[in-house]
Structure 1
């Protein structure tokens, strides 16, 4: 096994090339493929350009700290893609396209999978998560691993989104003093900053949708069971899923199409192959004409209300029939969800840690807790681990209280929640604001956000949630969520595409130190 340099050091050395550096800022998958097809740029040159951009902007310049490590094998993978293309043996739409992967997802490249924790700094497994394996089989270049909220934001209720002991604090490309949201904060910031065309995040509750919305991206939290979770550092087998993050619906659909595969090691994916198709192919033919859309209007400030109303006007102009609905009273859903997450965190993390290499000395959640206490200066400088401590006290997956909480949360979120809202409107799609604009990064008090959020019901029910850029609120991105029942990704992506093409709402980041958002602009009243 090749020696690995210090984890925090990026692979900054980019071989010189006589070819003019390709324009990668804001480039789509189609743009990259066109460059490779017409000889304007090879996959190698494109990969070099992304590595150079990361080196110039991630730890220097704007210092976004969105990438934990670049892949020393990325250029070799790109060269292999170039050779396949030259031989007429392209593997598909992602062949030669660099992809960034959140650093709680294993890849067989010689880099660690840390989940942001120093306890996993030696977790070089040299194995692909099955989801990564299908990307690699499609020719994707694994460019590197993105920073994240440590342990996917489950260690503490007072955490700071985007901070990890390994990677430091991720910055929002739109305003450096604003949160990138978490836990897929690094993927959100990196794709917004054009460090790759597309990237992979993971979500348990909000961790794809929130960083996508707050970084001006399209993000899809798929139906649970569409994408394998094997060899992904876990929180909850009931709610965890990887998801695509991109700057357009088309690119998110292309990436999602390649991620889907049944995995014998993940029973939830038993039927995934039945839903594997090209989700991007039908997007140009999508329509909202005559489509009934349920509209939920949560409490929000005037500026976010104005942006939401403008988005609804776009949907109506495209022929959608809008029907206002209220969210039913779902008493106890939050407590039930949290009980599920605590129990599954202990069980699932213990199972995962038992499979890590011998160099990883933390073999259980209890070991991780002890590691954090012994290394508090580096692991807990801003917030503690009370959620970990609570999880360690749980009684396992056969505990009647856990089983009752899971049944209750699933019923409230699905049948009595999203299903009831859609049925009342006679609709297949529910729309609402994804989140408000990003709050200030605060290492003293932690995350201060208490505005609208679309993530809870889809996360608990296992239903899909697609967020699409809804423009800027005083310089900060906000998103529009399209939510449906299980396996409604085709419908949601089509609706999101129609909205995206009509609204043209996404605005590229300007890398400002701060945004003048004024008082009360955190998404609350």
Structure 2
């Protein structure tokens, strides 16, 4: 195994300095992470497959650096991708489902194209909760897929929840299997595994990152986002992922350029930031031990000069949430994705998937497929009265009568939740959130703190998250 003492927990800034000064190469760095996966991932099942071209890509990027310099801060940096993100290479894209284990995408997802153009090394695909955790209500644990098995939390194998559905991305980055990873979120699927694995996760405003080329769940809520060990590394990744995509027109709405995210890193501050603390229902769900870690984090915010407004209430938080929008949108979206797969893949509809799973139930249906069956009962045309009603209500109660209302009432910059306990409301609004490590329980389970703001407020969130990270330096690497 390569002596990677200098690589362990290394940041992108540190790695770029080493490569610029010819102290290390992208090839050596890639080999180091491949060795880490080989040595430790049998415990975690976080990486589904390795890109056989990763070392060749790294070698080509090393040669290019020596000739013309680096393309970006991601030049030569090994990155992992969640298994629902299309890549036109020797990697499969399956959303963790056995039915798609032999599926090759016809082209790169737009964000993958952007990452390749930036000089990133696509190291491989990570395990995930099958179908983005929209498969079954029958006690299916986070991080399980029929293709990849059960992803484990490196801070407590068999003890702690790994978080879903970007579980493999969270566990792999915590365990130093790559520099950073890309996850996707519909409702908590970046924030949850980031909190549970003591890393940084950015769930952007819907539309900041293109959704094209990603196996979909909900076109209303889906977004990809970066997962890394530091805020700065996550921002570097996000800057290269964002961009206007003619196949996803909402990406043309973003009001700022990547340099504003980088500027926010250099303007990080908590001073005079008005931060609202949500406690309603949260503390009971969190439990006493995690609650103590959270309380310490809140005190640190206050001591750093933030104006903490305690116990703010989101007007719509008592409203009963449902799967309605996701249930209707999943069928329409997945049928569209399946229709464009290579002809070698036999399934073309959600009904086909359900039937295939039934015929291979011993391997494919350990926890059933109740959510798939429920979604398949819909028309797939998105014309149902219940869907259209839920769509409008979700947007209204999560945004106008949700986050917007509480921010306006208390003149807040952001609101704060522990872990991902408030993820559903900004997810339904399409609003951004960032989670940052906050500490650990006595038994070693990670606890995160999540900052949420209105749409397109990523620069503000980055300022606050980076300042909190610098203040607390809470992250500790897991012992494998």
Considering the TM-score relative to the shorter chain, is it more than 0.5? Answer: yes
Aligned to 1:176: 157
Aligned to 1:417: 402
Would the aligned equivalents of 1:21 and 1:45 in 2 still touch at CA under 8 Å? no
CA deviations 1:296-349 (Å, max 9, x no partner) are 1222322222211211111112111011202324454512xx111011000000
Do residues 220 (structure 1) and 202 (structure 2) align? yes
Deviation at 1:75, TM superposition (A): 0.8
The DSSP-based 3-state class of the residue aligned with 1:242 is strand
Aligned to 1:440: none
The DSSP-based 3-state class of the residue aligned with 1:277 is helix
Aligned to 2:248: 266
Aligned to 2:301: 315
Aligned to 1:483: 452
The DSSP-based 3-state class of the residue aligned with 2:315 is coil
RMSD of equivalent CA atoms = 1.5
Do residues 136 (structure 1) and 121 (structure 2) align? no
Aligned to 1:287: 269
Would the aligned equivalents of 1:220 and 1:244 in 2 still touch at CA under 8 Å? yes
The DSSP-based 3-state class of the residue aligned with 1:323 is strand
Do residues 430 (structure 1) and 411 (structure 2) align? no
Deviation at 1:179, TM superposition (A): 1.9
Structure 1 Cα separation of the partners of residues 126 and 184 of structure 2? 11
Structure 2 Cα separation of the partners of residues 460 and 69 of structure 1? 32
* TM-score normalised according to structure 1 size: 0.87
Superposition pairs of residues 83-102 of structure 1, within 5 angstroms = 83-102=63-82
Do residues 471 (structure 1) and 411 (structure 2) align? no
Aligned to 1:462: 430
Do residues 389 (structure 1) and 399 (structure 2) align? no
Structure 2 Cα separation of the partners of residues 149 and 432 of structure 1? 23
Aligned to 2:478: 509
CA deviations 1:49-100 (Å, max 9, x no partner) are 11111111112xxx11100000011111111111111012311100100000
| 1:31 pairs with one of 14, 21, 24 | 14
Aligned to 1:58: 41
Would the aligned equivalents of 1:184 and 1:207 in 2 still touch at CA under 8 Å? yes
- The farther-off stretch of 415-424 and 462-471 is 415-424
Greater share of residues in helix:
2
The DSSP-based 3-state class of the residue aligned with 1:299 is helix
* TM-score normalised according to structure 2 size: 0.95
Aligned to 1:6: none
Would the aligned equivalents of 1:262 and 1:273 in 2 still touch at CA under 8 Å? no
Would the aligned equivalents of 1:292 and 1:323 in 2 still touch at CA under 8 Å? yes
Superposition pairs of residues 11-410 of structure 1, within 5 angstroms = 23-59=6-42, 63-158=43-138, 159-177=140-158, 178-272=160-254, 274-277=256-259, 279-297=261-279, 298-300=282-284, 301-324=287-310, 325-330=312-317, 332-335=319-322, 338-381=323-366, 383-395=367-379, 396-410=381-395
Structure 2 Cα separation of the partners of residues 505 and 266 of structure 1? 37
Deviation at 1:31, TM superposition (A): 1.8
Would the aligned equivalents of 2:79 and 2:181 in 1 still touch at CA under 8 Å? yes
Structure 2 Cα separation of the partners of residues 173 and 191 of structure 1? 10
Deviation at 1:273, TM superposition (A): 7.4
Deviation at 1:147, TM superposition (A): 0.4
Would the aligned equivalents of 1:469 and 1:480 in 2 still touch at CA under 8 Å? yes
Would the aligned equivalents of 2:328 and 2:387 in 1 still touch at CA under 8 Å? yes
The 1:247/1:281 distance shift into structure 2, 3 A limit, reads same
Would the aligned equivalents of 1:333 and 1:409 in 2 still touch at CA under 8 Å? no
Would the aligned equivalents of 1:261 and 1:273 in 2 still touch at CA under 8 Å? no
What runs of 5+ residues in structure 2 fail to find an aligned partner? none
CA deviations 1:16-74 (Å, max 9, x no partner) are xxx96563221111121122111111001100111111111112xxx111000000111
CA deviations 1:403-462 (Å, max 9, x no partner) are 111000111111111111111211121112124xxxxxxxxxxxxxxxxx1210111000
Structure 2 Cα separation of the partners of residues 277 and 204 of structure 1? 26
The 1:220/1:109 distance shift into structure 2, 3 A limit, reads same
Structure 2 Cα separation of the partners of residues 119 and 228 of structure 1? 26
Aligned to 1:447: none
CA deviations 1:120-146 (Å, max 9, x no partner) are 112112411001100110000000000
The DSSP-based 3-state class of the residue aligned with 2:227 is strand
Would the aligned equivalents of 2:46 and 2:168 in 1 still touch at CA under 8 Å? yes
Structure 2 Cα separation of the partners of residues 385 and 187 of structure 1? 23
Deviation at 1:270, TM superposition (A): 2.3
Q: How many residues align?
A: 471
Structure 1 Cα separation of the partners of residues 4 and 273 of structure 2? 45
The DSSP-based 3-state class of the residue aligned with 2:90 is coil
